[in-house]
Copies of this chain bind each other. A is one copy, B any other.
Amino acid sequence: MRFMTTPDNAADTPAEAADDTAPAATGVAAQDWDTASADPQYRAAVVDLLGALAYGELAAFERLAEDAKLAPTLSDKAELAKMASAEFHHFEQLRDRLAAIGAEPTQAMEPFVAALDGFHKQTAPSDWLEGLVKAYVGDSIASDFYREVAARLDSDTRGLVLAVLDDTGHAGFAIEKVRAAIDADPRVGGRLALWARRLMGEALSQSQRVVADRDALSTMLVGGVADGFDLAEVGRMFSRITEAHTKRMAALGLAA
């Protein structure tokens, strides 16, 4: 996964976060894994987070490989296969990290299989352009979310999470292809705008499902563990993510 840093997103520089809505990078964010993981609840939350991210990458691999079949040309196919392969290498890093901290990777991923498979099942693209918009929108939202969370993580976990969110090239490729399609036939824009809205709705509903199910993870998100968010902060996080989505859709020529 990858993405544009959104304007409100200070995750890359947590220590310098200066504006009054951003939490100061103290506590866990100033610790390394060895220190932070002494708290069993923090440890469980990180295993959940890495498990969710790992399965997300594996599912993204499958989705991109599947979408490669819809590619109109051999070089488009190769481009999607390349992204899929990059996601797989991210998966490997996360799986290895889970093993290194003594967690069983499969077990860590299992709790997130239903939600992620559910998301992909509900949002199977019916053509090449829908697939591109999905790759772009889905990864952008996921990436925004993980960057927000990353600022609350210990330095070791944060480094890994930010590394696997690195650009795998989806953005530029998707934007270029989608814009060209809208230029060629403006009606395409209306259809894809509806599609993007459906994707956002489905992503939010699956996220709620995960948060409701996973105690350690949601406790970290809504406060109670280390530098977790409070509820108001979670609300602000969701509006930042939604706002960033709206801006991206506008940049793509789609009304969100």
Q: Which residue of B lies closest to A84 (CB)?
A: B65
Contacts of A42-69 to chain B: CB distance below 8 A: 55, 58, 61-62, 65-66, 68-69
Interface membership of chain A positions 102-134, coded 1 if the CB is closer than 8 angstroms to chain B and 0 otherwise = 000110011001000000000000000000000
User: Is chain A's interface secondary structure helix, strand, loop, or mixed overall?
Assistant: helix
Interface size of A in residues (CB-CB distance below 8 Å): 27
In the complex where A73-B106, A106-B74, A113-B74 touch, is A81 in contact with B61 (Cβ < 8 A)? yes
CB of A130 to closest CB in B, whole Å: 19
Contact partners of A82 in chain B: CB under 8 A: 88, 92
Contact at A62–B69, with CB atoms within 8 Å?
Answer: yes
Interface membership of chain A positions 64-107, coded 1 if the CB is closer than 8 angstroms to chain B and 0 otherwise = 01101100011101100110110011011001000000000110
Contact at B74–A65, with CB atoms within 8 Å?
Answer: no
Contact at A95–B78, with CB atoms within 8 Å?
Answer: yes
In the complex where A81-B91, A89-B85 touch, is A65 in contact with B61 (Cβ < 8 A)? yes
In the complex where A85-B89, A109-B74 touch, is A62 in contact with B58 (Cβ < 8 A)? no
Residue numbers of A with Cβ under 8 A of B are: 55, 58, 61-62, 65-66, 68-69, 73-75, 77-78, 81-82, 84-85, 88-89, 91-92, 95, 105-106, 109-110, 113
* A-B contact list, 30 entries, CB within 8 Å: A55-B74, A58-B74, A58-B77, A58-B78, A58-B81, A61-B65, A61-B81, A61-B84, A61-B85, A62-B68, A62-B69, A62-B81, A65-B68, A65-B84, A66-B66, A73-B106, A74-B106, A74-B109, A74-B110, A74-B113, A75-B105, A75-B106, A78-B95, A81-B88, A82-B88, A82-B92, A84-B88, A85-B85, A85-B88, A85-B89
